[in-house]
C-alpha cells in the first residue's frame, strides 16, 4: 500500500552529491516523509524524516517541495558505503501506525 514513487536505480560518482527523488503526490497534511536505506542482507537503517520544512542531520538532507508532493534526499558526499536501496515512506505519526515499503531506489556509488 505504498504511496510513493521512486526511480528503480541510480548511479553516483564517489565524492559527489547523490540526489534521490521521491514522488508522493497523494500525501496528506498530517503525513510525514521518512527515508530509510537497506544495505544488502541487513535491516533498514533510519536516515531522516520531515513534515514540511527541509531537514538536515549528520547523514543527509531532506528537501520537501512547498506543495509537499515530492521530496529529495541528498547525500552530500557519497561514499562506496552509501551503496544501498533507499526507501521513501509517507506515514502519519500515530501510535501503531504502520510503515509500508515501496520498491525503493537502488543507489550504486561508483569509484
Chain residues in the site for another protein (CB under 8 A): 32, 34, 36, 38, 41-46, 49, 87, 91, 93-104
Q: How far is the CB of 77 from another protein (least distance, A)?
A: 21
Q: Which CB sits closer to another protein, 20 or 36?
A: 36
- 22 forms beta bridges with 71
The per-residue DSSP string of 30-65 comes to TEEEEEEEE-TTS--EEEEEESSS-EE-SS-EEEE-
Q: How far is the CB of 16 from another protein (least distance, A)?
A: 26
Q: Which CB sits closer to another protein, 1 or 66?
A: 1
Q: How far is the CB of 33 from another protein (least distance, A)?
A: 12
Q: Which CB sits closer to another protein, 21 or 102?
A: 102
- 61 forms beta bridges with 56, 74
Name the CA dihedral angle for 31, 7, 100, 74, rounded to a multiple of 10 degrees. -50
DSSP state of 81: G
Q: How far is the CB of 99 from another protein (least distance, A)?
A: 5
Q: Which CB sits closer to another protein, 13 or 103?
A: 103
Amino acid at each position: 500500500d505504498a504511496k510513493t514513487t521512486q526511480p528503480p536505480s541510480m548511479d553516483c560518482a564517489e565524492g559527489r552529491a547523490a540526489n534521490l527523488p521521491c514522488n508522493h503526490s497523494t500525501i496528506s497534511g498530517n503525513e510525514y516523509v521518512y527515508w530509510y536505506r537497506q544495505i544488502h542482507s541487513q535491516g533498514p537503517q533510519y536516515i531522516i524524516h520531515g513534515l514540511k520544512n527541509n531537514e538536515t542531520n549528520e547523514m543527509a538532507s531532506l528537501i520537501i517541495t512547498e506543495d509537499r508532493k515530492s521530496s529529495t534526499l541528498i547525500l552530500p558526499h557519497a561514499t562506496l558505503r552509501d551503496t544501498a536501496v533507499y526507501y521513501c515512506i509517507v506515514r502519519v505519526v500515530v501510535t501503531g501506525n504502520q510503515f509500508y515499503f515501496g520498491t525503493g531506489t537502488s543507489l550504486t556509488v561508483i569509484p
